[in-house]
């Protein structure tokens, strides 16, 4: 049997830390106990936001890769939230992939939108990434959206957009 990789040891430590010291607002664990690289995260919609009290399920398979000698976290994907649809979030692509700077490949941004310091570095943990996703839900960014249609609605029909999100969240809550 091969020795555990540095990436698997790092993720085991992060899982142990999250189990020992849970963070308000989300829970995280493995999809399957036999694979440290497959995680499932449930975020409780942040208070005082459009997503308050919603349950947003996020998964990533695999969660981390070794790229040369540098660890790189792969993209998280919002899988479901009962009736939740990625269409209602500016920083989530319609296919559910989360778009936040710290998940982008390290180095300079070829499009010039982000500083290298805003992109992936190995100091990021599952916790820091999930907290960034929670922050993203709290403060929508319509300047470089993953979901152009949602950003357009956010800018041009903000009240309508908010009603739409609240309706979806309410339906989600009713299913529990």
- List of E strands, the chain: 26-30, 39-44, 55-60, 64-67, 70-73, 77-80
| Interstrand relation of 64-67 and 55-60 (parallel, antiparallel or unpaired) | unpaired
Q: How many structural domains are present in the chain? A: 1
Q: What is the pLDDT of residues 69-124, one digit of tens each?
A: 556 666 666 665 544 455 567 788 777 778 888 888 788 888 888 888 888 888 88
Residue 165 lies in a domain: yes
Asked, for residue 1, whether it belongs to a domain, the answer is no
Pick the catalytic residue from 43, 88, 99, 126: 99
Exposed e or buried b per residue across 151-169, where buried means at least 16 C-beta atoms within 10 angstroms of its C-beta: bebbeeeeeebeebbeebb
The reply to whether 168 falls in a domain is: yes
Where residue 46 sits, what CATH number does that domain have?
A: 3.10.110.10
Residue 99 is a catalytic residue: yes
Q: Which domain holds residue 94?
A: 6-174
- Residue 160 forms part of a structural domain: yes
pLDDT tens figures, 27-41? 999 988 988 888 888
Per-residue model confidence as pLDDT tens digits over 59-71: 776 565 555 455 6
In a domain, 108, yes or no: yes
């Amino acid at each position: 049997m091969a020795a555990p990789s540095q990436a698997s040891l790092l993720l085991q430590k992060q899982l142990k830390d999250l189990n020992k010291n849970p963070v308000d607002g989300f829970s995280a664990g493995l999809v399957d106990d036999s694979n440290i690289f497959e995680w499932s995260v449930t975020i409780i919609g942040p208070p005082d936001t459009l997503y308050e009290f919603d349950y947003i399920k996020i998964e990533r398979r695999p969660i981390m890769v070794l790229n040369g000698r540098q660890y790189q976290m792969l993209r998280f994907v919002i899988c479901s939230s009962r009736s939740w649809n990625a269409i209602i979030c500016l920083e989530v692509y319609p296919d559910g992939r989360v778009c936040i700077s710290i998940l982008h490949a390290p180095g300079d941004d070829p499009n010039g939108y982000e500083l290298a310091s805003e992109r992936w570095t190995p100091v990021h943990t599952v916790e820091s990434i999930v907290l960034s996703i929670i922050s993203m839900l709290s403060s929508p960014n319509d300047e470089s959206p993953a979901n152009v249609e949602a950003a357009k609605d956010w800018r041009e029909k903000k009240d309508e957009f908010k009603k739409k999100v609240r309706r979806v969240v309410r339906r989600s809550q009713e299913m529990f």
